[in-house]
Amino acid sequence: MNALGPIKRYKTLTEQAADAIRSRIISGQFHFGEALSEIALATELGVSKTPVREAFLQLKNEGLVEILPQRGTFVFQMTGPQLRQLTEMRELLEVNALRFAVRRGGEAFARTLDRIIDAMARATEVKDPVAYRVCDAEFHQAIIDGCGNPFIGSAYNIIALRVQAFRNRLSLEAQNWRSLDEHRQVARLAQARDADAAAECLLAHIRGAINDYFARTEKEFSRAG
């Protein structure tokens, strides 16, 4: 008797619709606060309105869209103070996760960062901002994964998609190749097992990124809220 193989699970139309819309929000194809047309998306994706409507509900739970009664569905947006608060949460989780990852992950963690940085460097050589942004997100996720604490990982998942959306928009405004050098510095300090110095370097990187974002989007966001 032949052994049964694993059952393949195919994505539902709702999941496929959510994947497509999520990708466009995170990549910056849809602008913050932009109205999303259920009919237009259904037509473009080749599905009925029901999967799109259900996808909107899923993306709402992920914090990527806002559904306003009698008005419609919109890509999420934040005031300046809210974005500062999101950054504070990112600092709290990423910086401390890096300390744990350096102390617990050792050489394996440092090699992971080096591998990602090599890929980022190749992306800069061929001027591929899409590949660069993918590596950028992978670098920061590697810090969370490397800390060895699933509770930190769960907490980070709450903000990860919105953080990625803002990070991508910064590189869309003006490609921030400078972050490669900052990532290299973090990796070098991780290799040296200097957890505190690596954490300080990462903190400066995160704060520099948010300040760059505000500098480039003064018309889109108000610091006063």
Average pLDDT over residues 207-211: 87
- Identify any residues that bridge with 66 across adjacent strands, giving them in sequence order: 74
Check the CA dihedral 24-116-198-195 and report its sign.
positive
Note the pTM of the prediction, 2 decimals.
0.82
Tell me the CB-side half-sphere exposure of residue 187, using CA atoms within 13 A: 21
Q: Is 16 exposed, middle or buried (0-12, 13-18, 19+ CB in 10 A)?
A: middle
The predicted structure's pLDDT at residue 54: 97
Q: What is the pLDDT of residue 19?
A: 95
Tell me, what's the pLDDT at 175?
53
Q: How far separated are the first and last CA of the chain, in Å rounded?
A: 67
In angstroms, rounded to a whole number, what is the distance separating the alpha carbons of residues 143 and 151?
14
Average pLDDT of the chain to the nearest whole number: 89
The percent of residues in the chain predicted with pLDDT above 70, rounded, is 88
Residues present in the chain in total: 225
Query: pLDDT tens across 115-134, in order?
Result: 999 999 999 899 888 888 88
Spatial distance between the Cα atoms of 42 and 45, rounded to a whole number of angstroms: 5
Grouping H, G, I as helix, E, B as strand and the rest as coil, residue 217 is coil
Domain ranges of the chain: 13-75, 80-216
Q: What is the pLDDT of residue 209?
A: 84
Q: For 170, list phi and psi in degrees, rounded to 5.
A: -65, -45
Quick check: 83 and 209 in contact, CB under 8 A? no
80-216 matches 13-75 in CATH topology: no
Q: Residue 218: helix, strand or coil by DSSP? A: coil
Fold classified for 80-216: Four Helix Bundle (Hemerythrin (Met), subunit A) (1.20.120)
Question: Under CATH, which architecture does the 13-75 domain have?
Answer: Orthogonal Bundle (1.10)
